[in-house]
């Protein structure tokens, strides 16, 4: 974790993400990038000062934003954290993707408001879109954390062999927090296309074998949806963190059935770490 990017709209949940970004940056001695996207004319950067003076409300908005960022910059300096601010106009998701690439961000921390009803599938929150689009781990938080320890952690997965690199990346991340228990969770859905329980449990044992040095437990849970199953199980064990490997689904399938990861990010009150395994090298220990 060398470059952490925290998108913000200065809402309460975004401020929780800001606090967590500082904690991660200090722990990993990483550079911290804060990004916000505001409604500016497309040619704002090329405008002369006298032209910008014709938009007093935009100038006041930027002044207010820079004052907030200055207070965060002062906080970073006191903590010895390298800090950068990025302000842009345009479409939020497109700009976020661009900044992740430009800044070589390898970890994103975001707040989520959550949405409900038809909008969550047909429009989706910015956080859901970020989880869908970004090819780096995205840590999503809704509420303030009392501390930054993750003792009871759920890794929810289909436990396909291709997801082992994701699991190893997760183990590398979580070891710095000394978790007490890692719960391997598979959700058994009704239907004809689910793997038999004995096959799933055998696959989970392969993942458990990678957990050297961790207290790791396996759970096979029946539920009507992945999202509901992961949330209900996590609530039952009072989980501090949910981790998922993020499959990319076809857009049409997402519209009609919803993405399990996006639904989980939207509904879960527990922090969620989404890892896009498709971009992770498949090097495994021998």
Dihedral sign for Cα atoms in the order 274, 277, 279, 284: positive
Start-to-end CA distance of the chain, whole Å, equals: 24
State residue 256's pLDDT score: 41
Sheet strand arrangement including 3-7: 83-88, 31-37, 3-7, 107-111, 138-141, 272-275, 241-245, 152-156, 181-188, 216-222
pLDDT, one tens digit for every residue, the chain (286 residues): 899 999 998 888 889 999 999 999 998 999 999 999 888 877 777 788 888 888 888 888 888 888 999 999 999 999 999 999 988 888 889 999 999 999 999 999 999 875 544 444 434 478 888 888 898 999 999 998 888 889 999 999 888 888 898 899 999 999 988 899 999 999 887 764 466 777 888 989 999 999 999 999 999 888 888 899 999 999 999 999 999 987 655 454 444 444 788 888 888 999 999 997 555 444 444 3
Architecture of domain 152-279: 3-Layer(aba) Sandwich (3.40)
278 CB-near residues (< 8 Å, 6+ apart) = 135, 248
**β-strand pairing of 272-275 with 138-141:** antiparallel
State residue 247's pLDDT score: 62
State residue 150's pLDDT score: 93
> Full-prediction pTM beyond 0.85?
yes
Whether 3-141 shares its CATH topology with 152-279 is answered yes
Number of other CB atoms surrounding residue 249 within 10 Å? 16
Query: Domain boundaries in the chain?
Result: 3-141, 152-279
Class of domain 3-141: alpha beta
Q: Cα angle at 150 between 145 and 205, to 5 degrees?
A: 145
- At residue 118, what are phi and psi to the nearest 5 degrees? -65, -25
């Amino acid at each position: 974790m060398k470059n952490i990017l925290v998108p913000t709209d200065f809402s309460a949940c975004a401020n929780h993400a800001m606090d967590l970004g500082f904690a991660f940056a200090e722990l990993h001695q990483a550079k911290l990038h804060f990004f916000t996207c505001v409604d500016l004319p497309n040619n704002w950067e090329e405008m002369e000062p006298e032209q910008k003076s014709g938009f007093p409300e935009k100038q006041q908005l930027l002044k207010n934003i820079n004052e907030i960022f200055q207070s965060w910059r002062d906080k970073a300096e006191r903590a010895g954290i390298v800090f950068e601010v990025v302000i842009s106009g345009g479409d939020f998701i497109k700009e976020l993707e661009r900044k992740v690439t430009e800044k070589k961000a390898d970890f994103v921390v975001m707040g989520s408001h959550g949405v409900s009803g038809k909008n969550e599938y047909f429009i989706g929150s910015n956080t859901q879109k970020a989880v869908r689009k970004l090819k780096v781990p995205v840590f999503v938080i809704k509420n303030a954390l009392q501390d930054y320890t993750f003792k009871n952690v759920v890794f929810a997965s289909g436990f396909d062999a291709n997801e082992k690199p994701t699991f190893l990346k997760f183990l590398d991340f979580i070891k710095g927090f000394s978790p007490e228990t890692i719960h391997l969770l598979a959700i058994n859905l009704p239907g004809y296309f689910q793997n038999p329980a004995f096959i799933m449990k055998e696959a989970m044992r392969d993942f458990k074998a990678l957990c050297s040095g961790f207290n790791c437990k396996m759970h096979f849970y029946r539920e009507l949806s992945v999202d509901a199953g992961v949330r209900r199980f996590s609530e039952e064990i009072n989980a501090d963190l949910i981790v998922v490997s993020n499959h990319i689904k076809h857009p049409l399938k997402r519209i009609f059935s919803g993405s399990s990861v996006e639904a989980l990010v939207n509904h879960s009150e527990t922090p969620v770490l989404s890892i896009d395994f498709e971009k992770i090298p498949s090097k495994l220990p021998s």
